[in-house]
Amino acid sequence: MLAAGSGSRFGAAQSKVFLPLAGRRVFTWSLRSFASVRSIERLILVIREGDRDLAEETLEREIDDDTPVEIVVGGDTRHESELAALRYLAPDIMNGSINIVLLHDGARPIIPPTLVRSLIQKAAEIGAVIPGLLRDDIRQVNPDGTPQLGSPELYVAAQTPQVFNARAILSAYERAAHEQFVGTDTMSCYEHYHPGGGDWIPGDPRNLKITYPDDLFEAEKILHQSNFHVE
Amino acid sequence: MSNESPRATLLCSQCGKSTDHRFVYAGRLLTHIECENCGHVVHPANQADLPHEYVLDLKQRLRTKPRRLARRAFQHPLKFLAALPKAILRQPVKLINEFRTIRKEEGDQAGR
């Protein structure tokens, strides 16, 4: 789980993944969902070094003792944080004890375990999969900014967790580090080195990313409506 | 969790900038979010129900408090005992602040 995003453009604020949401911090809602999926054996939380005390205190209060969460310090960008997590897992990936890796944005608190199970199953079959929501309301624009005419293209709004064969995503990120390639998201880096190798399955509209203030109210409402237990 | 209003960066739907926002809670309920750049305030859609929602949430907090305390006591007994007196003394002030926040939200809503 990636929770190393910067807190503030101006200094004193905290990372949004540490905001309180319906009695817990934003990121522990999804951590608890992952912990409820039996096939997930290890949970890695990627943070900024400055958030370590808060992260440890939060995990102690909000995550059960029988769900150990390992903390890794990430980098300045999402890509660097992903690489740090993959390198941390590299020995176990190379010896075959980790087959599948899920990379999740800590700012997405509501992740149904059923979706996680479907993603793991699909990634085990084909190597790489993301959850997405079909969008038919997006148009490409010309270089001058005018919209292209004709039928709107179909696009998928990518969500997380993005799920990969562990060796394949590790090798993609190591090659990307060597060649200084940075993708727009995890799948784009994977596809750069494994063209056509990824797929998507329908995500969940509740799996929203906290971006605007309204998103936090929406997430709170969803959690209340589901009696704090999203399936 | 702290009683202070946390701040974090979100994208403001009013000024369109990625700016620091201040988050105001009453207990576990988020009562409003304010953009520190343009002052735009966002309230929950069901703001009129806030006092009722707060009471429901407070009841649930009280109901689950013994279990949460027991868990912490079991996890770290010494740390728990050392922090207990201060935590007990803090509760009245915490509740008064929460009631004040709810009252203020009601007043603000009536004034809009």
Minimum distance, in Å, between the CA of residue A39 and any CA atom of chain B: 26
Name the residue among A9, A21, A221 with its Cβ closest to that of B9.
Answer: A9
Beta-carbon separation of A211 and B10 below 8 A: yes
Partners of B13 on chain A (C-beta within 8 Å) are 212-214
The pLDDT of residue A6 is 63
> At B1, is the pLDDT very low, low, confident or very high (cuts 50, 70, 90)?
low
Write out pLDDT tens, residues A79-131: 999 999 999 999 999 999 999 999 999 999 999 999 999 999 999 999 999 99
Confidence of residue B3 (pLDDT cuts 50, 70, 90): low
Residue B11 to residue A9, Cβ atoms within 8 A: no
Q: What is the ipTM of this complex?
A: 0.87
Residue A7 reports pLDDT greater than 60 = no
How far apart are alpha carbons A108 and A29 in whole angstroms? 9
Residues in B touching A211 (Cβ below 8 Å): 10-11
Global pTM reads 0.90
Distance (Å) from the alpha carbon of A207 to chain B's nearest alpha carbon: 17
Instruction: Determine the residue of chain A that is closest to B54 in CA distance.
Output: A22
Distance from CA of B97 to the nearest CA of A (A): 17
What mean pLDDT value characterizes chain A? 91
pLDDT in tens, A207-225: 999 999 999 999 999 998 8
A52, pLDDT greater than 70: yes
Please state the rounded mean pLDDT for residues A33-55.
95
Q: Is A221 close to B45, i.e. CB distance below 8 A?
A: yes
Query: Residue A14: beta bridge partners?
Result: B8
Q: Return the pLDDT at A151.
A: 67
The secondary structure of residue A13, as a DSSP letter, is P
Could you tell me the pLDDT band of residue B16, with boundaries at 50, 70 and 90? Answer: very high
Chain B residues with CB inside 8 Å of A12's CB? 7, 20
Residues A118/A161, Cβ–Cβ less than 8 Å = no
Per-residue pLDDT, A171: 96
> What ranges do the domains of chain B cover?
7-111
CB B21 within 8 A of CB B7: yes
| Of B8, B25, B42, Cβ closest to residue A214 | B42
Farthest-apart Cα atoms in chain B, separation: 50
Residues in chain A closer than 8 A to B45 (CB atoms) = 217, 221
Question: Nearest to residue A108, comparing CAs of A27, A33, A188?
Answer: A27
* A21 has pLDDT over 90: yes
Say whether residue A7 is in contact with chain B using an 8 A CB cutoff: yes
- The least confident of A206-210, A225-229, B68-72, B89-93 is A225-229
DSSP strand E in A83-137: where?
Answer: 100-103, 128-135
User: Cβ of A9 and B19 within 8 Å?
Assistant: yes
CATH H superfamily, domain A2-225: Spore Coat Polysaccharide Biosynthesis Protein SpsA; Chain A (3.90.550.10)
Q: Encode pLDDT of A128-147 as tens digits.
A: 999 999 988 888 888 888 88
Residue appearing with tokens 């969008």: A135
Q: Do A213 and B21 make contact, defined as CB atoms within 8 angstroms?
A: yes
Pairwise CA distance, residues A18 & A27, whole Å: 7
